[in-house]
Amino acid sequence: MIPYARRLLADKLNDRRDGVKTFWWRRVGFAHDRPNFGDELTARLVPEISEISCTWAHPKRSEFIGAGSILEMVQAAGAPRGLKVWGSGFIQEPKRKRKYDFPDFDFYAVRGKLTLDRVRADRRVALGDPGLLVSRVYQPAPVVPGRVGFVYNHEHRNDRILRALAQAGRVATIDPLRDPRDVIVDITKCEFVFATSLHGLVVADAFGVPNAWVALKKPLGGGRYKFEDYYSAFDGNAVQHNAAIVEDADAIQQLKDEYTGVPNLRVLQDELLAAFPYSPGQQDAIESAPGRAGRVDGSAPTGI
């Protein structure tokens, strides 16, 4: 972002020095709880791409939401009219055979096409998970030759198969309940990453680390939906592998050889940056584009 634009944005947001009231998912009321890195990404990315910060707020008091499968959650919790949505998604198919129009929410970007098909907006809406921006903000760690990582969903932290793989030295397990920067370092050290964590896959894709989605015994809420939504943003295939593949060196090599990454990563990143609700000039970039659905043409701020 050029210095003049930074000053302009700072002047406009003087009343936001305490941060934009933002909801992201957190477990509350449990002893020794630690934040889940994927859900914390929005609050870490926003100060890096703008002059504002995010302050956690209950959905009823929130102004803004970003990464996460939280659209049903914030609607059920009574989120206010005009809530700005940037890269969020649904967690599952609608329970009734109807679309969720969310007429009172203000959509700038959504995670993927499955979510886009269920919302209504007056502007064109960008596609992509905001977690894809991590490679525009953070530097990767040096790769450790031969390192295979496994980023598990926090629901799988006690999974028997995962523990056995770790004890046998088959994989380096990557704990998601840590500071996002530490998780990013661990992911980028790997030559290959397996994950049951959606944002484990997102971060790996952002840095071009070959990766694969695998299944463990305990099903996750919403099943395949959020994964298919994420991959739909770039017409990728949501292929889930059996956990046994983690021990198959030949299969891992084949997956590495076949990995093509996100083909339009730079475009998705630029459009997410252009669609950020609090960026200077963002309104002109989005509202000048005709039509309800689709992506926003735009370039990244200088230095991002």
If asked whether residues 175 and 123 sit together in one domain, one would say no
Q: Verify that 107 and 175 share a domain, yes or no.
A: no
Contacts of 96 (CB under 8 A, 6+ apart): none
> Residue 281: CA atoms inside 13 Å, Cβ hemisphere, count?
16
Q: Does residue 226 fall inside a structural domain? A: yes
Do 95 and 157 belong to one domain?
A: no
What is the pLDDT at residue 27?
65
Asked if 158 and 213 sit in the same domain, the reply is yes
Residue 302: inside a domain, yes or no?
no
295, part of any domain? no
Identify the pLDDT of residue 97: 60
Does 61 share its domain with 159? no
Same domain, 8 and 103: yes
Whether residue 158 is found in the same domain as residue 106: no
Domain that holds residue 251: 141-258
Q: What is the pLDDT of residue 291?
A: 35
Q: Does residue 296 fall inside a structural domain?
A: no
| φ, ψ (nearest 5 deg) of residue 32 | 65, 25
> Between β-strands 20-23 and 126-127, what pairing exists: parallel, antiparallel or unpaired?
unpaired
DSSP assignment, residue 167? Answer: H
173 and 95 within one domain: no
Residues 118 and 226 in one domain: no
> Are both 10 and 128 inside the same structural domain?
yes
- On whether both 106 and 175 belong to a single domain, the answer is no
Does some domain include residue 52? Answer: yes
Q: Are residues 106 and 201 in the same domain?
A: no
Report the half-sphere exposure of 105 (CA within 13 A, side-chain side): 32
- Is 298 inside a domain boundary? no
Q: Which CATH number does the domain housing residue 180 bear?
A: 3.40.50
Distance CA 278, CA 290 (A): 21
Residue 294 falls inside a structural domain? no
Q: Would residue 83 count as lying in a domain?
A: yes
Please tell me the number of Cα atoms within 13 Å of 107 on its side-chain side. Answer: 32
User: CA angle at residue 206 from 235 to 118, to 5 degrees?
Assistant: 40
Per-residue pLDDT of the chain (304 residues; tens, 9 = 90+): 444 444 444 444 444 457 999 999 886 544 446 788 999 999 999 999 999 999 999 999 999 999 999 999 999 899 999 999 999 999 998 877 655 556 689 999 999 999 999 998 888 999 999 999 999 999 999 999 999 999 988 777 777 888 888 888 889 999 998 999 999 999 999 999 999 999 999 999 999 999 999 988 777 767 899 999 999 999 999 999 998 898 999 999 999 999 999 999 999 999 999 999 998 766 444 444 433 333 222 233 334 5
Say how many domains are in the chain.
Answer: 2
Q: Which two tokens stand for residue 193?
A: 């990453």
